[in-house]
């Protein structure tokens, strides 16, 4: 059984084993048992024993079939969702997951001379790691750690990226989130899920994690969206590259 199946079963078990669901289930069992018996007892005044038993069976079957059809139609009702932009400042994210793009050698040397956000953001030189830094800035009041997923080529840049972030954000824990083929949806999504699982065991809720899809490749962006878009408590964000450079945070919303 893979982790996706386990996650689905845990979620389903949680719904089934809720007090509300159990009370509804008990109520249905009582109605399904008492109603046919009561009707059959009433009809027993007028019917023979064999006909009475058959009537009780038919009534029970009709009630259970009706309940099944009703439940099936309820499940098949339109549960429409939409992706919506949310207030990025109100989320209080504690963990961020992002992808590291490979930087050129010239910029790697230039990063050594960057000691403040102004040095990076207000200069004329364009840096590939500017967008991840902007993404972190928006949540720095609540953010505790950043998981950086690397490609085989950007793995060598992780130490430089970690050093830069720790220089700009003193108390931020920058963690190597593992290496993945940035052109493999399966590899990238697998690492994201491992991080979610790790954070869950450490007491971090899903709504306290945001996936930044700005850097990397189109595949990493798709994987980042896919890992959050079917979960209403998960969020992803994107930093726009054109002025004004803004952080936009999104999640799934149920349409009534």
Strands 235-239 and 209-212: parallel
Per-residue pLDDT tens for 193-231?
999 999 999 999 999 999 999 999 999 999 999 898 878
State pTM to two decimals.
0.69
Kindly state the helix (H) or strand (E) to which residue 216 belongs, with its residue range: none
Strands 80-86 and 235-239: unpaired
Domain ranges of the chain: 3-75, 82-255
Per-residue pLDDT tens for 183-200?
999 999 999 999 999 999
CATH class assigned to 82-255:
alpha beta
Per-residue pLDDT tens for 35-54?
556 655 665 555 566 666 67
Instruction: Say whether pLDDT at 75 is over 60.
Output: no
Please indicate whether residue 69 or residue 36 has the higher confidence score (pLDDT).
69
Alpha-carbon distance 20 to 100, whole Å?
45
């Amino acid at each position: 059984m893979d982790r996706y199946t386990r996650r689905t079963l845990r979620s389903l078990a949680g719904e089934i084993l809720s007090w509300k669901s159990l009370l509804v289930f008990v109520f249905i069992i009582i109605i399904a048992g008492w109603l046919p018996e009561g009707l059959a007892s009433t009809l027993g005044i007028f019917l023979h024993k064999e006909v009475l038993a058959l009537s009780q069976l038919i009534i029970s079957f009709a009630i259970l079939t009706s309940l099944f059809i009703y439940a099936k139609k309820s499940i098949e009702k339109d549960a429409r969702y939409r992706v919506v932009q949310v207030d990025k400042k109100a989320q209080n994210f504690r963990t961020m997951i992002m992808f590291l793009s490979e930087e050129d050698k010239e910029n790697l040397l230039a990063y050594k001379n960057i000691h403040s956000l102004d040095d990076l953001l207000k200069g004329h030189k364009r840096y590939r790691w500017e967008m991840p830094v902007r993404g972190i800035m928006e949540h720095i009041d609540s953010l505790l750690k950043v998981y950086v997923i690397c490609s085989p080529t950007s793995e060598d840049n992780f130490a430089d990226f970690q050093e830069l972030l720790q220089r700009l954000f003193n108390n931020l824990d920058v963690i190597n989130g593992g290496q993945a083929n940035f052109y493999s949806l399966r590899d990238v999504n697998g690492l994201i899920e491992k991080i979610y699982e790790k954070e869950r065991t450490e007491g971090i809720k899903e709504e306290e994690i945001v996936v930044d899809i700005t850097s990397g490749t189109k595949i990493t962006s798709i994987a980042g969206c896919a890992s959050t878009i079917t979960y209403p408590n998960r969020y992803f964000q994107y930093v726009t590259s054109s002025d004004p450079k803004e952080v936009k945070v999104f999640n799934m919303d149920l349409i009534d």
